[in-house]
Structure 1
Amino acid sequence: MREAVTCPVCSEVYQASVREPVTLPCGHTFCRSCLVAVKGRGNLLCPTCRTSHNQVNVQQLSVNYTILSLTSSISNTEYGTCGTHGDDLKYWCCECDAQLCSLCLYSGHPQGHSVQLAKAYIQEKQAALADEINLLCMKLESQHEEMKRRFTMVLQGMSELCQKGYTLNDSWVNLNQLLQQTRKATSIELVKKADEKVKESKETFQKLFIKGLDSAVADSSKDCLPNDKKVIETDSLKKNVEDKQEKAKTGNEATEKNPVMASNISKSNVQCVRLEYKKSQLLLHCISLHSDTRLSLQVPSEVFLEASAGGKCLGQVNIRLWCHLRRAHQFMALCLGTLGPSFLGAKADRVFNQDCAGECLAFRNYVTPNNERSNRPLITDLEQGPANSKPITEGLVMQCNARDLGCGHANDMNEFAFFICTSGYPGKSISCPFGEVVSGLEVVWDAVNHNPVTEVTITQCGLVLPDLVQ
């Protein structure tokens, strides 16, 4: 009976207004919405006998009321079968917490218990559960809004810090010039002018930075820090300022020559992208060496891969890439999916040199946006040859031929595939390394020992955001 009132296309029971049964000239019946969808894809062919009905207007087909009338006798409630009497378990005892058939009610079941129809119990329970779920959803939505509010506050704070960073940098430059002018002053008049400028600078500094940063720390602490850290953060800031003042007094030969910029000497070789807030937009500037006090971000060079196997998450592997190499840029693009394909869904291929020197886990494919596997290179002119060779060490991430590892043949490799070394190979070098594991090597060991290794899948990947500089 149920099959007769079920649409063969969507497998749903016919329903008035929603899934009305209509019959094609060939005699087969389907719900109107399914036929509309079939015709929308091109030719209207009967899903059962493949007869063409291109001239038929689906919207004008009459409802098959004979079939529709039969649906009222079909219940969507699924009952179990009583193991004792073979009848449908249509009743529910609230006190026994058990399903009953009509015969169970009169054969051994305690009298006076609260019994109701199973269908009614299901509907009541559905309504109660729906209320609980909706309440939880409301709480989650409230937390989501709070998270967005805090995130917005963080962005606003970054914008303010960018503006202060530019002001701070200008102040450094002005103070440096003032210091040079003070040292060259040859008259009382020039010394007094310098004294006035120093007082003005101190007032500006007190208003703009000491007060502003202290209040900023206090405000952020209310939302983001436990009570025992609020004072620590503020005191740390003041101590930092005091330390700088002490260094400015005592100084050394380097600071006497250029006291203002001395604090940046150790960071001069750090590649950064400068942050700027301009016209209500947060801008990232071109990569450059960090050379002043403006707020900057270190150039990202660390990525992560999360591996799973057999339905279990093995953990996360963090890899620091050597970004002067094109192979590293290709790897980062696959972690982020910026060129289309990505590592999401990529599977391990095999383990080379298992339990021996130079043991490596190999991945030979990535996944395209069409969910296909490919091993074609995304970037041309990838580095090769001895100029880029390094010794094989534990945690090395590389691209190479299996023959280079002392096993297999040269064609066991492609321009995409990569290895993660889980053990070193003394006296052996490899020509195409482009990064190293900085944490999570134990996850790679677990992947190597999983059987079969081809079940190991990359389920998450991306970029590790760097720390703020200055």
Structure 2
Amino acid sequence: MATGGASQVSSLESALLCGICLSEFDATLRRPLILPKCGHTFCRICVKNLAARGEVMCPSCRCRYQDVDPDELPVNFNVQCLASSDRPFPTWTKYSETRDTDCQIHGVRLAFWCKTCETAACGECLFEQHPRPDHNTCRVQEVIQEIKGLAEKLSQESCVEIVVRLGETIRGTLSYVSDLQEAAHLLQETARVNRNALAAQDLPSITSVFESAKTVKQRVSALDRSEEQSNRSALESLGTVPASRPAILALSDNGSLGRVEVEEKGIHLFSLRPPSTAYSVAMKLNVLTACVSKESPQVFLDVSAGERRLGRVYIVLEGHMKRAQQFMALCLGNLGFSYRNTRFDGISERGQPGTYIRGGDYQGRGGLGGEALMDGLEWGGPWAKPKAAGQVCGVGGEEQRRFGSLFAICLKDNPEDTFQCPFGVVTEGLQALEVASRHDPFHMVHISDCGIVIPL
């Protein structure tokens, strides 16, 4: 429906513009005049310019006219009335008035492009300098759309390359920071060994110092980047890998922090926490979120029962839907609330076709909270679909805002029943939810963590 409406507006807008200069018709200088034989309409100024050369040739169909007097041509009053009325779509008049897009020779808009000469032209220039078939011409808007498409393609390709480089950089940064931390620990350990060596007075104590010195030497050798893997294994066998691992966190505008991990499926950005977490390196949150797919964003939920981790659930969302955008915001926590540490509040139609698990009450009201964070959430009508395993659907109708953030995940198909607004699908981890649905007691099942994924 939206596409059809946009097409109708575009067609109507085009009909209210002169086909030669692409200026907007009006009731004064640019009155829409009809060429009587062919019926095509152009503005008074353009018709006068054509008539000044003697013979008039219709730019649309090449129909020829002799001794045309523009003042005697009929006015297209339907077009004039529409052009003079208020319309809910933008026009190009201000564009031509505020930008250097007028032909310096004829004083009308450069609305065409000659591909042969690679230059812009007005309607007059087409006849005088770029005649067909010797010249390949088109409207400037066609060139703009073509360039726009190429720009979007290049941008998408660049984004994919940037995300891969970003993942490699995060891995490298974590490794270098780990080495930096290890070097600092070794400096402290070396100083301690030196103090003990100076204080040693008998064979057992000096032997102990010697063993400590050998361990420190092994750890120093392990900092050699070219032998990282073998040295890391050796250190693990010695039990000397630093207990504290370095952390890269995403920093939001309000100071909240989200852990950043590079895993097999991509860069994982975990739900934001209060600004009290220690970290080694911080990145701007919007740098990472700019790499998230707009059409099919991916999120994850870590499902646990008490302290026992049941598995991770990956969900691909319908990026154009508001419910999907709200779900992603609640996985990230960038609107102040998060699904992290929220319970799954129940199972509906247990053991039957269409079984689904319910969750999303970030307000902790036992499934009676979870107020919507966004307006205009989808419900019913064209959004409704038969129940299918893995579907993620909103809960609560259009008028039930207090349940707008609740969601349901279908565990079994039921083509005979319907979900009113599916906005995503589980791509991996549905088995973890099936295990969760059988856990007793069920109230212990919760989302221990969540976030968004930037695929590599």
- TM value normalised by structure 2: 0.36
Larger Rg computed on CA atoms = 1
